[in-house]
Structure 1
Amino acid sequence: MREQPPYRRFAETLRKRIDGQEWKPGERLPSRAQLADEYGVTADVVRRAQEWLISEGVLTGRAGSGTYVAERRERRRLVRSPEQEQCAPDAQWTFESRTDGMVPASPEIAARLGIEEGAYCVRTAYEYLVDDKPVQLMTSWEPYDLTVGTLVLLPELGPLAGAGVVRRMAEIGVTVTDVEEWPEPGHADAEEANLLGIQKGALVTRIQRTYYSDDGRAVETADIVVPAAKCRIAYRFPVTR
């Protein structure tokens, strides 16, 4: 097994001291020089270890002041199932969205939708909020030629606004039978961090989702970003008897 780099090992040492409440939430850690001297490591190892723990929501940095133990926050439960996607079912949640009607497909999106590169898509960007605080981002793409001229062209406008992909596609005679999701860990970029209210580089879960019709055609694909420090993801599936 590949050995962990020194900063990761030192990060776990700090985490154990924090878990043991040697430093409590809101309390300032010793300086990097002090920690480096105490453990016989370089200041760079201490810096990278602290940056790693900041990205995981364990620590928080304050410019010109130092590094502090982050205040403990309750992680919301985000339930995903074939029937619906429900952010924090035990809380009040809303979403904000912005749709662009004719966006050329990038090579990646074209491959995911099975369309030609540069073909038009309907792109919708979502920000999901719980108690007015952001907990999830999503960007969705649908083939423009699939819904053009119908009442469901724009996902959040018209008689089926907010009804979801499956119901909207059924309205135009397209039966959605499968959904595929690929979750993987990642780090928030600057824009995501700003929208989600987290540190740049903080841990997130990225989910690549694609809906397919009964003839195997991809009818929608989306990129979903969930901050690990704020939410834990649960999957719920029906049991076939």
Structure 2
Amino acid sequence: MGVDVAFGDQPAYLRVAGDLRQKIVAGELPPHTRLPSQARIREQYGVSDTVALEARKVLMAEGLVEGRSGSGTYVREQPVPRALVRTGYRSVGDSTPFRQEQADDRVKGTWESRSEQVAAGADVARRLRIAVGDRVMRTGYLFRAAGEPAMLSTSWEPLAVTGRTPVMLPEEGPLAGKGVVERMAAIDLIVDNVTEEVSARPGLAEEALALGGVPGHCVLVVSRTYLAGGCPVETADIVMLAERHRVAYHLPVK
């Protein structure tokens, strides 16, 4: 887990945190074990209360331990990351929004969604190549795998393209729940290109709450845009907890 880095003289709290981290990784402090108390850390490492407290804060920030009210600090059970495989569009019968984002076909996914018309902000306008303030259909999704929250997605579609068509609402109408490619084909738009950017950032409090994570922990964001004839027809941000996912790209060689 992680990379062993130590440049020059480390502050005492980092040395203490590093030693405790190694014990957690090695299994000497297994999941659900109570972390040594602040007093015990102070005595064991010969440091001050401030150093002991800062060391525990480091481990909390790294997601290795968690505080339990009135009980103490315990080692967290680390999730096994699931692969989010990006292979490009595959024409399959069950091309639902969840299937587009899900790597493991054995996992049955469900999702909740909500759509509303909004004015495009600067970032969405840039990605869709429309003017700031133009109307778009924004749809928020919460995807679940095996009943547990897996990822969030927010998509935006320009109403200049989909407005007053049978596919204006992604989760209603004759193509409800189908993927962007099928829906756009129904209004004679052939999606022929997809762009993606992957980034990482601290998770927002509301994202962590929805995904069952800890506020401030890192999330992965896949920013995806579908294009038809060079014109963006949908853009979306897919958000997942970094500790639970890894993004794997399988790209054909032409």
Q: What residue number does 1:134 align with?
A: 149
**13, 26, 36: which is aligned to 2:32?**
26
Give CA-to-partner distance per residue, 1:96-144, whole Å, 9 cap, x none: 11111x2011111111111111111000001110111101000000101
Mapped to 2, the partners of 1:182 and 1:8 lie a distance apart of 33
Q: What residue number does 2:55 align with?
A: 46
Q: Is the 8 A contact 1:183 1:206 kept in 2?
A: yes
- Deviation, 1:191, is 0.5
Mapped to 1, the partners of 2:121 and 2:6 lie a distance apart of 36
Q: Map of 1:219-230 to 2, 5 A cutoff?
A: 219-230=233-244
Q: What residue number does 2:94 align with?
A: none
Q: What residue number does 2:87 align with?
A: 81
Q: What residue number does 1:157 align with?
A: 172
Q: 1:153 to 1:133 in 2, by over 3 A?
A: same
Q: 1:203 to 1:37 in 2, by over 3 A?
A: farther
Q: What residue number does 1:120 align with?
A: 135
Q: What residue number does 2:68 align with?
A: 62
Report runs of 4+ in structure 1 exceeding 6 Å deviation: none
Q: 1:156 to 1:87 in 2, by over 3 A?
A: farther
Q: Secondary structure at the match of 1:193?
A: helix
Q: Is the 8 A contact 1:10 1:45 kept in 2?
A: no
1:97 maps onto 2:113 in alignment: yes
Output the TM-score relative to the length of structure 2: 0.83
Q: What residue number does 2:215 align with?
A: 200
Mapped to 2, the partners of 1:132 and 1:8 lie a distance apart of 38
Q: Secondary structure at the match of 1:163?
A: coil
Mapped to 1, the partners of 2:112 and 2:246 lie a distance apart of 21
Percent same amino acid at aligned positions?
43
Give CA-to-partner distance per residue, 1:68-120, whole Å, 9 cap, x none: 111243333332321143253232211111111x2011111111111111111
Q: Which runs of 5+ in 2 are unaligned?
A: 90-99
- Deviation, 1:3, is 5.4
- Deviation, 1:158, is 1.2
Mapped to 1, the partners of 2:59 and 2:207 lie a distance apart of 21
Mapped to 1, the partners of 2:223 and 2:167 lie a distance apart of 23
Q: Which runs of 5+ in 1 are unaligned?
A: none
Q: Is the 8 A contact 1:187 1:202 kept in 2?
A: yes
1:175 maps onto 2:182 in alignment: no
Q: What is the total number of aligned residue pairs between the two structures?
A: 235
Q: What residue number does 1:15 align with?
A: 21
